[in-house]
Amino acid sequence: MRGSERYEKLLAELERRGRRRRLSPREGADFASNDYLALASAPAMRQALHAAIERGVPAGSGASRLLRGNDPEHEALEQDAARFFGAERALYFSSGFLANYAIWSLLPQRGDLVVHDALIHASCRDGMRAGAASIAEAAHNDAGAFEDAIRSWRSGGGSSAGRGRPWIAVESLYSMDGDRAPLEALAEVAERHEAMLVIDEAHSSGVLGEAGRGLAGKLAAAPNVVCLHTCGKALGASGALVCAPAAVIEFMVNRSRPFIYSTAPSPLMAAAVRTALGLIEREPERRLALLELIAFTNRAIEERCGVAQTGSQIIPVITGTAARTMQLASALQSRGFDVRGIRPPTVPEGTSRLRISLTLNVDRATCAAMVEALAEELARLAP
């Protein structure tokens, strides 16, 4: 095969299996984005960006942070973020994927073991594969499974087996299931085994925990904890912040290839993230309004559709097959509700689903109408 023929055949196979993805416009009421606090288009964010431009903050950084790309806005954001999230230091990356890749490809060393939740994000998995540590998978949200994996590794055969440091990798709120990790139990496992605990707070940052600081809470200040907070979800901007002990951050500055060899994030985006952190801190009513919407919609969807409550802004509606999932998504979109279907390999085989995401871009009446439409379409497209 020459040229693009190989890819045409691979795309045809994806089409046959119902897994071909396509870009689609943003239309209808927002039940698909992660803009949980509706900050992405908030007037306060636009005003902050305009003010930053007026005071001379550049759109681009022009270089990596270790060359000439280190802007005062980056450093101010990192100081604000460390204080807000309760960590010793913070380091700003251009995306959550890059930050997770940086963590897992660098920090666990050869001879260490990484035990990750079965539903951990793809960015973590890719970083782990690029790293030098051994990798083990633990059953979802089962703290005992993490402990068993560490104990098995410690007692394994061979002269070097189990002599390094264990690492535990979890999300505080899982992006496709909307359920919470048992962080306290996992912290106890980490303490017993002198392990590092890495918590991806992507979907809880700004929304859950005390004052929207995430679900890690006081764990964030522990010397064996690393937290990741993405800035493109509830914070309404882009990028990600790795929050950790100072020595960890300094080591990443010195050795992390994604940090060293990437052009620094836009200083304007750093200014936007600082603004978002300030809004979350000064205007708790935003978060409280979202929590009320979450409680209302979770109740409504359970009562009307029989879908179990997650208690979070992420509500999965498991449909089973990819074909039915996409039929349901298309039906809801045609009725004015932007609900997206999620298929393998993003989720396990047989668990294709609608992922309903609740944001302040919709109100209670729109949520009620969406739930009613969902109930009607589930009945109409029953398997």
Domain boundaries, the chain: 25-39+284-380, 57-281
Q: State the distance between the two ends of the chain, measured CA to CA, in whole angstroms.
A: 40
| Fold of the domain built from segment(s) 25-39+284-380 | Aspartate Aminotransferase, domain 1 (3.90.1150)
Closest CA to 145 of 164, 169, 163, 109: 169
Three-point CA angle 168, 124, 161, nearest 5°: 45
Q: Which two tokens stand for residue 263?
A: 């052009």
Q: Which two tokens stand for residue 231?
A: 């800035």
pLDDT given at position 328: 96
Tell me the mean pLDDT per 10 residues along the chain, length 383: 83 87 89 98 95 95 96 98 97 97 97 96 96 96 97 75 90 97 98 97 97 95 97 97 98 97 97 97 96 98 96 95 93 97 91 96 98 96 79
Largest CA distance in the chain: 64
Residue 127's identity, in one-letter code, is G
Q: Are strands 113-117 and 134-138 parallel, antiparallel or unpaired?
A: parallel
Q: Full-prediction pTM beyond 0.85? A: yes
Q: At what angle do helices 122-130 and 96-106 cross, to 10 degrees?
A: 30
Q: How many residues does the chain have?
A: 383
Burial class (CB in 10 A: 0-12, 13-18, 19+), 77: buried
pLDDT given at position 159: 47
β strands within 188-338, DSSP E: 196-200, 225-230, 240-244, 314-320, 337-338
**How far, in Å, CA of 226 to CA of 345, rounded?**
28
| Fold of the domain built from segment(s) 57-281 | Aspartate Aminotransferase; domain 2 (3.40.640)
pLDDT given at position 1: 58
